[in-house]
Amino acid sequence: MNQDAMKRQAAEAALSYVEGGVIGVGTGSTVNHFIDALAEHKGRIEGAVSSSETSTERLQGRGIPVLDLNAAGELSVYVDGADESNEQLELIKGGGGALTREKIVAAASRRFVCIADESKLVQVLGRFPLPVEVIPMARSHVARELVRLGGTPVWREGFVTDNGNLILDVRNLEINHPVSLEQEINNIAGVVTVGIFAQRPADLLILGTPDGPRTLGRT
């Protein structure tokens, strides 16, 4: 079974956690499968709050109403992918550059269901370069601070986030204490969001595997 089929399997399994109301929808190729599957059951929900312009376009293209988070209140569930997850369901996200809105929608949701293929599960976070969204004028300052923390930041040149900011991808970080590193990087002046999701980890991780979906966490 290839990686894309495993992503689709996880995405389809997440449908059973959609119970109605307004839901949060993330960004990425795994979420694209989820949106396609959700379109077949769209009568079940009032609509979706989207974490990116790309997902908004896909949701609307499939007839799923997209709502403003300010009008939606607390969301019942948020479904999103990840670049890495450890066994505690602490994540690295932001490979698609949507990390800030993803973190906001995750924070506003009662349950966070993460969907991925099995290759995303790791012992220690950090093999995937850690995305950090920064205000443009702070790029060099934040990069120097990240070097001080032991990382090697690389500017994702030519990429602008939906919020008009830049991304630094930080290599060579072994993230043994995700909660404290998340706080530390978020405290650097000029950082909008770091792609560590540990203060608010996923509640559930559904992994696509050749043997069928594997679920970790609190069901």
Which residues sit at the interface with ligand 5RP, rule CB under 6 A?
26-30, 80-83, 93-99, 102
Nearer CB in complex with ligand 5RP: 83/145: 83
51: DSSP letter: S
Kindly tell me the number of DSSP H helices and DSSP E strands found in the chain.
Answer: 7, 13
Based on the residue annotation, tell me whether 102 is a catalytic residue of this protein: yes
**How is residue 116 written in tokens?**
């991925």
Nearest-angstrom CA–CA distance, 68 and 214: 32
Catalytically annotated residue among 12, 102, 145, 182 = 102
> Which helix H or strand E contains 62, and what residues bound it?
none
Q: What is the DSSP string of 101-118?
A: HHHHHHHTEEEEEEEEEG
Residue 113: CB minimum distance to ligand 5RP, A:
12
Nearer CB in complex with ligand 5RP: 95/151: 95
Residue 161: CB minimum distance to ligand 5RP, A:
9
Sheet strand arrangement including 214-217? 47-50, 22-25, 75-80, 109-117, 204-208, 214-217
- How do 47-50 and 22-25 pair as beta strands? parallel
Nearer CB in complex with ligand 5RP: 127/141: 127
Residue 148: CB minimum distance to ligand 5RP, A:
25
Nearer CB in complex with ligand 5RP: 141/216: 216
Q: Using CA atoms in the order 65, 70, 75, 80, what is the torsion angle rounded to 10 degrees?
A: 70
Residue 139: CB minimum distance to ligand 5RP, A:
19
Residues marked active site are found at 102
